[in-house]
A and B are shown apart, each in its own frame.
Chain A
């Protein structure tokens, strides 16, 4: 990236930035072609009358697209600042090309009240470099018993509700949540897991868990809840969003439900389309997550779901944990991995393999997740806030966790050779990340 500035007219005309010569891909507007992108006063501008002295970014050979929107980020603040903070999570997001992250409510305190939502928004405004959109809890304390004040949460700025990390076990409570949240047009995001079936589980139940002598989490633990949630979605007409779908059976049921017109959306995480349960061999705690890494057939099903529209969004489930915590024996180590800074190249690998087109991949990272939370971001429409990500799709690099912006290092991708890297990230026209 080269930026040149001419301050001759500064203070008079609009502040104009031109991203020159990149392949501009904006799925929301059906745009894919080499052209200049003009940003004026932080918004996408029409393409005429660019002053000769405007600041420019040379994007020749690079892809220019809307900033990515992550529906599933564990920011950890308040309460677990030793794992991650708003400041570090948003910097990690920027480095990964994400300009909006949705903050999961399983903080301490849990975001089940307006006060916590307002705190998250306030800290994000003060210390964040990308947009942070809070997700409120479905139930008080995410205990799965009584509904949280979802109306209040919505008013305060929550874009969805979820008890993520835990399922809503009680089917009646889930039914009421799907009904009640409709008054505020909020999606209800469920973490699908039958806790009795997954009890003590450390990894996917199958050949590898049997070999390692680790308690397994069967695919059915997810599928049982997906089936229930789809039935409840159909019953209530609510907006159901299924988090981190990991197995073939879930994808099949969602596909079938969508074909019948059920109002369901779903997300998948890069690790679930990049790794199998074999990554756990050697008791790798950084391959421990919930839902767990599944089999090759499940990975294939997730990729097919991304390709055929069954899955609406790629979400990271960025889940920072301290190195000490991941140094416990695997059955005691916490679940989850960080993902903001590795999501793009893992997704680009699907493009390289011919499984997804690049515009479709960008759709899964931008306009579709943005639409789900009714965000005005995720496109390069004229007049929209200029949240823009510039990607060098050919750039090769090796994952070195010590270089992460995230406070945590828990990734199974350390040492992986990646192709494709974010070179610049802009939020409202301002560069918030520039490579090197």
Chain B
């Protein structure tokens, strides 16, 4: 079975079967990561371009390494969205890369919808590596894969997503993915950052962290953009972390085998206490490890997925 789509733009538009296909393919690639020689020839001769208009360490490195392990040629372009606006348009930049023979363009952009714009105009595959507050589909796939790995299922689990949901593409992609696969999603944070409208999409919305964590199987803390303080979303970091920061005491309300997740980068002591981020419940680094296998799976499946997954 192949993915029937050219692009990976978001989880909301994906069928459950497609999500499961990516997750099972990722499991195969996890095995490759355990080998002594971690490289397979699957995408030899293909070109993957990482086009990043926002700073990123882990996502960019993860895509680069994933492409390299599949033997693709990789180009990394990091630039700022503003410099592009002044001159060449985003579309022109992308069309030029396609003209050079790019097979896959992985794009991160501060504008929601920028990958959609490219996908419509280009013949090559486009992978959304995070667009504005819209979606970050590979991160959600990583998170689903990590939960599955630990819990063996998603259906029936209670997942609390905590923090700045309003501006979080990770929260949105996870909301779509988790609800499609049968998990209960609770969203929690200050009312300025957890819009009521989210209840319309099948999530429980609460402004109390204790309520959100109560009996949860998974607690996912979101990164707080510190500059939001200046725009009246919350009064001070002190009050934010006191009310919505994940601490050991708060976590005691969750199930004993709770998983603590964070998409990174972590503001230690703001949205999550250091002892929690580094504690036994934390799977934050497993998320990063799984990121590689999931992105290999996505690159492989979007590139046709015809050859074997390197099992031989």
Contacts and interface: CB of A to CB of B under 8 A. Distances in A.
Interface of A: 202, 206-207, 210-214, 282-283, 324, 327-332
B112 interface: yes
Contacts of B85: 328, 332
A320 B117 CA distance: 21
Contacts of B109: 329
B91 interface: yes
B90 A214 contact: no
Given A329-B117, A332-B85, A213 B112 contact: yes
Contact of B169 (A213, A283, A332): A213
Contacts, number: 59
Contacts of B91: 327
Given A213-B135, A214-B134, A330 B111 contact: yes
B197 A329 contact: no
Contact of B12 (A206, A207, A211, A324): A211
Given A213-B134, A283-B113, A283-B116, A329 B172 contact: no
Interface of A is mostly: loop
B117 A213 contact: no
B90 A328 contact: yes
Nearest to B131: A213
B226 interface: no
A329 B134 contact: no
A247 to B, nearest CB: 16
B197 A283 contact: no
Interface of B: 12, 85, 89-91, 109, 111-114, 116-117, 131-135, 166, 169, 172, 195, 197-198, 200-201
A332 B89 CA distance: 11
B111 A331 contact: yes
Nearest to A214: B112
B172 A213 contact: yes
Contacts of A212: 112-113, 134
Most A CB atoms within 10 A — which of B112, B113, B133? B113
B89 A324 contact: yes
Given A214-B132, A331-B132, 16 more contacts: A202-B112, A206-B197, A207-B200, A210-B197, A212-B113, A213-B131, A213-B134, A213-B172, A214-B113, A282-B116, A283-B112, A324-B89, A327-B89, A329-B90, A329-B117, A330-B113
Contacts of B169: 213
Nearest to B53: A329
A317 B41 CA distance: 57
A207 B199 CA distance: 9
Nearest to B172: A213
A2 to B, nearest CB: 44
Contacts of A328: 85, 89-90
B306 to A, nearest CB: 30
A255 to B, nearest CB: 28
A23 to B, nearest CB: 44
Contacts of A213: 112, 131-135, 169, 172
Contacts of A330: 111-113, 117
The 7 A-B pairs with the shortest beta carbon distances in the complex, nearest first, are: A283-B113, A213-B133, A329-B111, A213-B134, A210-B197, A213-B112, A329-B114
Contact of A332 (B111, B166, B200): B111
Contacts of B111: 329-332
Nearest to B200: A207
23 contacts: A210-B166, A210-B197, A210-B201, A211-B12, A211-B172, A211-B197, A211-B201, A212-B134, A213-B131, A213-B132, A213-B135, A214-B112, A214-B132, A283-B113, A324-B89, A327-B91, A327-B117, A328-B85, A328-B89, A328-B90, A329-B111, A329-B112, A329-B114
